[in-house]
Amino acid sequence: MANDASAVFDTLSPAVSKGSLADPFTPPADSALWRKNFLLGAATASYQIEGAVDEDGRLPSIWDTFSAKPGKVLAGDTGAVACDHYHRWEADIEMLASLGLEGYRLSIAWPRVMDAAGVPNRKGLDFYKRLLNRLKEKGITTFVTLYHWDLPQHLEDRGGWLNRDTAYRFADYADLMSRELAGTVDAWATLNEPWCSAYLGYGNGHHAPGLANDRFATQAMHHLLLAHGLAVPVLRANDPASQKGIVANIGRGTPNSDSAADQRAAHLFEVQHNAWILDPLLKGAYPQDLFELWPGTEPLVLDGDMETISAPLDFLGINYYFRTNVASDGAHGFRDVPLEGVERTQMGWEVYPDGLRDLLTGFKKTYHNLPPIYITENGMASDDQVTDGHVDDTQRISFLKRHLAAVDQAIKAGVDIRGYFLWSLMDNFEWVFGYERRFGVVHVDYSTQKRTVKRSAELVAKFLKERKARA
C-alpha cells in the first residue's frame, strides 16, 4: 500500500512525457510561470487530511465536536480518518516529490502538540518533525500554517476566539512550534483565512464552533488578528531565517447593474471580504464601512492592539476561488444575485479568473506597503471518477491554466507574486461538504485510501519537468 501513489504515477507519466497526451496546461513561452524562482506547490490542512484524531495524545478540536453534531456536515462525515495521512505521510510525500512539486503548504494541528496547561506533547511534535525533515531532504520548500481552523476544544470551552486570552495562548503555541521546528520551515503563516474563522465560525454559524452573531464575528476577528500580531515577533525571535506572514481568502464582488446602489453593494461586499482583514494588517485600522454594513458591531480594541496587528509582514498569502455578483439589499447591505449561464464548479462557485487579477492589481493600488504575495490556495472541486486507473479532470486543467494566466497578468502589471499553491494535493475532508467535494490533483478512494494521480497533476508535473530541464 505504502508506495501505491508513486507506482501509479510511474505507470502514467511515460504517456505524458512521450507527448502521447495532448497538453492543455503548459503556460505560453512568455509567462512568468516559466521563471525558475516562481514557486509552484500544493497545499493541504491538518484536519482535512490527517485523521488519527484520538491518537498519540491528540486532544479534540472544535471540528471534531462540530462535525459530530447531526446535520452540520454533509452525509455526517467527520475528519476522524480523512486521508489517513497521519499514517501514510511517507507515501504522500513520495507522491508530492514524484510530481516535481517544489513547495508544500501544510498546517499543524494545535490539539496534537500541546495540552490545556501548555505542556508539549512529544509524540505530536515528533510527527511534524519527521514530516518536515523529510520534506527538507526532498528539497521541498515548506510553508507551515499554525492555525487552519482546528482550535483545541478546551479553548472553545473558555470562549474560543471570543476570549482575548485565546490570542495569548496562540502566541504560546507559536513559541513552542517555532522553537521545536526552527530550521525546517521556510515560511510560517500564522492563520489561514481569518474571515472564515470569524464570520463562518462566529457570524453565521456555518462552520465550527457554529455561533451566529455579527458582533461575535467582529470580536472574534479582532482576537484572531491580535493572535497573529502577537505571534509574529515570537516567530521572528525563534526562527529568524524564515519568512513570516498570514493567509487571507479574498472575494471579488461585482455589481449587478450600473446603479449607484449596486456599485455600493459591490464595494461593501469587498469591504466585508477583503478590507476587514487587509486594512487592519496593512493600514492599522478597521474599515469604517464595515460598521455601516453591521451597525454597532465595533470590536473592543485595547491600546496598542492595532500596532501589534499591523507590524510588517514578509509575505501575504492569498486564497482565491470565485466571484459573487451582488445587488443592493435595499438597506445597508448587499445580496447575492447568481448569474445565469456562467461556468461553475462542483461547489457551484463561478469560474472567474479575472477576479484574481483584478483584486491583486487593486490591492497594489490600495496598499502602498503590500508585501510580496504567494497564492497559497487556488483550485476547484469536481466529481472526479477513476476509470481504468485514470482520472480525466478536464475542467480542473482548464481552470488551473486560466488562473495561472491571471497570476501572470498580475505579475506583468507589477504585483510581486512569488509562488502558487494548488488547493489541494489530494481530495480531502471539505469541511461542511465532507468527502463529496473533490479538490485534489490526486484522487483518494476513501474505502481503500488508494491515491490516483489525476491528469491535472500529471500536466503540472510535465510542465515542472520541462521548466527544470530548461533552467
Residues that bind ligand FCB (CB under 6 A): 45, 48, 192-193, 196, 249, 319, 377, 423, 430-431, 439
Q: How far is the CB of 380 from ligand FCB (least distance, A)?
A: 9
Q: Are 112 and 155 in contact (CB under 8 A)?
A: no
State the cell numbers at 38. 516562481
Residue 172 to residue 174: CA distance in whole angstroms: 5
Q: How far is the CB of 192 from ligand FCB (least distance, A)?
A: 5
Q: Are 95 and 453 in contact (CB under 8 A)?
A: yes
List, in order, residues 6 or more apart from 27 with CB less than 8 Å away: 33, 34, 401, 404, 405, 408, 463
CA 342 to chain CA centroid, Å, is 25
Q: How far is the CB of 302 from ligand FCB (least distance, A)?
A: 29
Q: Are 118 and 111 in contact (CB under 8 A)?
A: no
List, in order, residues 6 or more apart from 183 with CB less than 8 Å away: 239, 241
Helix (H) or strand (E) holding 334: strand 334-336
Question: Residue holding cell 485523521?
Answer: 51
Catalytic residue among 50, 102, 350, 377: 377
Catalytic residue among 50, 102, 156, 193: 193
Assess whether 377 carries a catalytic annotation: yes
Q: Are 201 and 210 in contact (CB under 8 A)?
A: yes
Residue 133 to residue 128: CA distance in whole angstroms: 8
**Nearer to ligand FCB among residue 193 and residue 305 (C-beta):** 193
Q: How far is the CB of 66 from ligand FCB (least distance, A)?
A: 14
**Nearer to ligand FCB among residue 408 and residue 430 (C-beta):** 430
Phi, psi of 104 (to 5 degrees): -135, 125
Q: How far is the CB of 105 from ligand FCB (least distance, A)?
A: 10
**Nearer to ligand FCB among residue 47 and residue 127 (C-beta):** 47
Assess whether 94 carries a catalytic annotation: no
Peptide linkage before 424 cis (omega within 30 of 0): yes
Q: How far is the CB of 237 from ligand FCB (least distance, A)?
A: 28
**Nearer to ligand FCB among residue 9 and residue 170 (C-beta):** 170
**Nearer to ligand FCB among residue 14 and residue 348 (C-beta):** 348
Question: Residue holding cell 531532504?
Answer: 137
**Nearer to ligand FCB among residue 196 and residue 453 (C-beta):** 196
Q: How far is the CB of 388 from ligand FCB (least distance, A)?
A: 28
Residue 411 one-letter amino acid = I
Residue 456 to residue 460: CA distance in whole angstroms: 6
**Nearer to ligand FCB among residue 13 and residue 378 (C-beta):** 378
Residue 410 one-letter amino acid = A
334-336 and 315-328 strand pairing: antiparallel
**Dihedral angle at the C-alpha atoms of 258, 260, 261, 265, nearest 10 degrees?**
80
Phi, psi of 283 (to 5 degrees): -120, -10
Q: How far is the CB of 430 from ligand FCB (least distance, A)?
A: 5
**Nearer to ligand FCB among residue 127 and residue 423 (C-beta):** 423
Nearest to 291 by CA among 306, 307, 271: 271
Nearest to 134 by CA among 165, 91, 87: 91
- Distance spanning both ends of the chain, measured CA to CA: 35
Instruction: Catalogue the active-site residues.
Output: 193, 377
